[in-house]
Amino acid sequence: MKLYKGLIYSITSLALLTGCANEAPFVEPSSEQNTGQLMTRCLAPKLTNVEGIDISTRAEIPSADDFKVVISRKTKTRDGAGSVEYKYSDMPEVLTLPVGDYKVYAHHGDNKPAAWDEPYYYGESEFGINANKITDDVDPIVAKLSNIRVTIVFHPSLLGSMSDDSKVEVRVGNQGVMTFKPAEKRSAYFKYVDSSQTLAATFTGIVDGSEVVETHTHDQVAPGNHYKLTFRMHGIDDDKPGTITGTISVDATVEQIDMNHTVDGEGEDYFVDDQRPVQGGEENPPVGDKTAPQISAIPSAANPDFDIVDLSKVNEVTDHLSCAWKITSEAESGFTAFTVDIKSDTLTAEVLEDVGVSDHMDLINPGEFEDALKGLGFPTRIGGLKDAEFDITGFLSLMAALGEANHEFKMTVTDANGTSVFYLRLHTN
């Protein structure tokens, strides 16, 4: 039996080596007896894309065939003891490699200091080559977005009042600078550098006849995240923060989205199915053995006997529905980012503006919306806290008064342990 297996292996190896005689990048002519083969199909990058959607459904996401694959030989003291690079689509079916340990890298894009619409994907894995063996099972190379995406949005309240030459200059750490004009719809991508983790966005322009220069900073930016900054105009009154006065100011709120795990939701139905995950799953990955922020429904403080909202399904709004919940963080530093996005058939941006809020709200930096948010039952300025309670039971009456509709509250919560996305889904008759 051993003789039979050895014969089969010898015939297979001979066929592979005959077809790939020139594909032995690390092999010396005198050492072929100390080699093995690698089936390169097992090096195909498995992608996570900017919206968490399967690669085959989004044409704008790069094909695995276009990735560069670098195979690097390892030694006991260092990596990179010789390497070879291929475009994945051009790789031979079989590589002959010396016996030893290897690291393989897959990347797409140039990872420039700063550029328009140039995401950079990167992943790696390791494998070993044994003498006279064919390796065809390598841990998947999961290629993730590995640079930083930034988008600037000019709110209508600002667009109608600022000069045509107004702009926002964005700098990430000590890397390149990108300038956003009002008509710019593209995203800028910045190279991530561990020692430079501050994003600074500076608005410069003439607003209602006054020259305005305002800078918004965001610390601890991370690769794979999308930072969407919305610039708005509001006045400042030292005695009544958030009220409009004759002094013009520009403020910015930031939404932080983990692009390797969070579904963007743009263009999708409100409720794809009733099993959409509330926590856990791909949207809320653990960081090692640490736990990302958690959520639980609680009784309304003002209406403790009401029916408690169910965060795992669509809730019918009734006169006895308690809409309150608590979000907790196990991280020592507490919440670092916390946004709420409202998607509704009837709670339009105009309706929300009438009650003093927006369809996108930053609960750590609420800006002009702080008083209205508190009045509706949303906590504010919760950066660094380890728990926050919401009670929007009183807000349901406004929703019901607007007629039959679907409503979705999307909460994106980040702490040092990771990012979680929670959904509150309601239906009014």
Q: What is the pLDDT of residue 351?
A: 87
Q: Which residues pair with 154 in a beta bridge?
A: 231
pLDDT: is 91 or 63 the higher one?
A: 91
Bridge pairing between strands 121-129 and 142-145? antiparallel
Checking if the pLDDT of 377 tops 50, the result is yes
**pLDDT given at position 12:** 40
**pLDDT attached to residue 52:** 42
pLDDT of 265 strictly over 70: no
H or E element that contains 18: helix 2-19
Domains of the chain: 2-145 (no CATH), 148-258 (2.60.40), 281-428 (no CATH)
Count of C-beta atoms within a 10 Å radius of residue 294: 17
Q: 49: helix, coil or strand?
A: coil
E strands, 273-317, are: 294-297, 307-308, 314-316
Report DSSP letters for 30-88, one per residue. Answer: GGGGGEEEEEGGGG--EE--TTS--GGG-TTSPPGGG-EEEEEE--SS-S-SSEEEEEG
Sorted by sequence, the CB contacts under 8 Å of residue 28 that are 6+ apart come out as 98
The model's confidence at residue 354, banded by pLDDT at 50, 70 and 90, is confident
Residue 223 has pLDDT above 80, yes or no: yes
User: Residues 140-149: pLDDT tens digits?
Assistant: 898 888 999 9
Does position 129 have pLDDT exceeding 60, yes or no?
yes
Q: How far apart are CA 180 and CA 229, in angstroms?
A: 11
How would residue 429 be classed by pLDDT, with cut points 50, 70 and 90? confident
Handedness of CA 18, 22, 23, 27 (dihedral sign): positive
In the 8-state DSSP scheme, what is residue 388? E
Q: Is the pLDDT of residue 220 over 50?
A: yes
Amino acid at 331: A
Is the pLDDT reported for residue 127 higher than 90? yes
Instruction: Quote the pLDDT of residue 81.
Output: 56
| pLDDT at position 18 | 39
Q: What is the pLDDT of residue 331?
A: 87
393 — phi, psi (to 5°)?
-55, -40
Q: What is the mean pLDDT of residues 253-260?
A: 72
Contact residues for 287 (Cβ-Cβ < 8 A; gap 6+): 417, 418
pLDDT band at 287 (very low <50, low <70, confident <90, very high): very low
pLDDT of residue 273: 31
Count of all residues that appear for the chain in the document = 429
How high is the pLDDT of residue 31?
55
Q: For residues 394-411, give the mean pLDDT.
A: 88
Query: What local confidence, expressed as pLDDT, does residue 76 receive?
Result: 59
- Report yes or no: 36 and 99 within 8 Å, Cβ to Cβ: yes
User: What pLDDT does 239 receive?
Assistant: 44
Residue 137 has pLDDT above 80, yes or no: yes
**Over 60: is that where the pLDDT of 402 sits?**
yes
What mean pLDDT value characterizes the chain?
78
pLDDT band at 68 (very low <50, low <70, confident <90, very high): very high
pLDDT of residue 14: 38
pLDDT at residue number 180: 96
pLDDT band at residue 152 under the 50/70/90 scheme: very high
Q: In this prediction, what percent of the chain has a pLDDT beyond 70?
A: 76
Nearest 5°: the CA angle 188, 191, 195 is 130
The model's pTM: 0.55
What pLDDT shows up at residue 108?
93
What's the rounded mean pLDDT across residues 317-335?
91
Return the pLDDT at 17: 40
CA distance 182 to 165: 8
C-alpha span between 409 and 391 (Å, rounded): 13
Residue ranges with strand state E in 224-351: 225-235, 248-258, 294-297, 307-308, 314-316, 321-322, 324-328, 337-344
pLDDT of residue 194: 85
Model pLDDT, residue 248: 57
Per-residue pLDDT tens digits for 17-56: 434 444 567 665 555 568 899 999 889 888 764 444 333 3
- DSSP tag of 15: H
Question: Residue 111 pLDDT > 70, yes or no?
Answer: yes
CA dihedral 350, 352, 357, 360 (to 10 degrees): -80
Per-residue pLDDT at 330 exceeds 80:
yes
